[in-house]
Structure 1
C-alpha cells in the first residue's frame, strides 16, 4: 500500500533546472537525514523562499549541479521535491550513489523536529519502498554517522529512531 504523500514539485517551487542529472543505478540502499542548519519555515511561501536560496547557494557557492538533497521537509510537514526519486544527490560525500538525502528545514541543534515533519518523512519512506525507489531493508543514518559534522543536529539525531523501521 502506497501512503499518499503530498509532495510540492520542483515546478511548484520554481526550482532552477539542474545543470545535469545522474540516475541511481538501482533502489537506494540507505537514507541519510540532514538539517539545513538555517531558519525553520512553515507554510508554502516561507519555505519556497528558503528552497530557492538553498538551491542558489548549492549551485553558485558549492558548485553543485542542483540542490543537494533529494527531498526537504518544512516544519509543517510539507515535503518538497529536491532532486527527487532515483536521482544521485550531493549531500553526503562518498555515499551519494546509493542513497536518498532528506533534509529537515531548520536548525536542530536547539529546535526539536515537529511531529508533522517526522510523520511526513515516515510516509515518504514508506512510499519510496512501495514504489521501488528504496530497498525495503534500507538503513537510515544521520549525516554525522557518515561524515565529520554535527548534522542533522542533536535534537533531530535523537529523533531518528522514530524514522527507523517505518516499512
Structure 2
C-alpha cells in the first residue's frame, strides 16, 4: 500500500525547507483533498461565482498543528465545530493552512464559504491559518503554502490576477487573523486595507 499523497507532499516540503522553494504561478502546490483529511460530507449547494476579486485571511484562534496527522485532526475539529455547533453546511473556509506547510481543502474554489459574513462570503475566497496568531507568527512554510495557494487560484482562474487580500479584521469586527499574522499579510503585494 502506497503512502497518501499528502504524506509524500509533506516530506517534499520538509526537503524544500533546506532551500527557499521557487514560486511558479502556473504550478499549484499540494492541496490535501477532503477525502484524505476525512472530512464529513458537505451539505453546501451554493456556488461561488469565480473568478473573485477578494481573499479574506483569518485564523482559527484555536490549536495549531505542525504535522499532517495533527493538522488532519484540527481540520476535522474545525469542521465539526462549524457543522454541529454553528449549523453551517460544511467547514466555513474555502481552504485551511496548517503549520505543517500543507493546504487543506475546505469548500474549495467553487463553493461559497461561511467565513466573513453574508456580503463578503459571496465575493471572496476565505483562507484560514489553523492556530492562534495574536502573539506568534505562523512558520515560513505555512506562509509559503498560502502564497502558493493564491498563485494557484490565479492560475486556475478562481481569482482575478489583480486580486486583493484582506485581513478578516479589515471587513468584520474581530481580532482575526491575529496581530502577528496581520502584520505579515500587510506586507503582501496584493494586500489592501
Structure-1-length-normalised TM-score: 0.95
Structure 2 gaps, min length 5: 1-24
Q: Is the 8 A contact 1:27 1:86 kept in 2?
A: no
Question: In the alignment, is residue 41 of structure 1 matched against residue 55 of structure 2?
Answer: no
What do residues 108-131 of structure 1 show as CA deviations (whole Å, max 9, x unaligned)? 001211111111111110111011
Quick one: which of 118, 123, 127 aligns to 1:98?
123
Query: Which residue in 2 is equivalent to 1:150?
Result: 175
Deviations along 1:103-150, whole A, 9 cap, x unmatched? Answer: 011100012111111111111101110110001111110000000100
Moved over 4 A (4+): none
Match of 1:160 in 2: 185
State the distance in 2 between where 1:65 and 1:150 align.
25
Larger Rg: 2
How large is the RMSD of aligned CA atoms in angstroms?
Answer: 1.3
Higher relative contact order (CA 8 A, sep 6+): 1
- Point out where structure 1 has 5 or more consecutive residues left out of the alignment: none
Tell me which of 128, 139, 157 is aligned to 1:114. 139
2:87 alignment partner, SS class: coil
Q: Per the alignment, in what secondary structure is the counterpart of residue 13 of structure 1? A: coil
Q: What is the alpha-carbon distance in structure 2 between the residues aligned to residue 42 and residue 31 of structure 1?
A: 24
Quick one: distance in 2 between partners of 1:134 and 1:35? 21
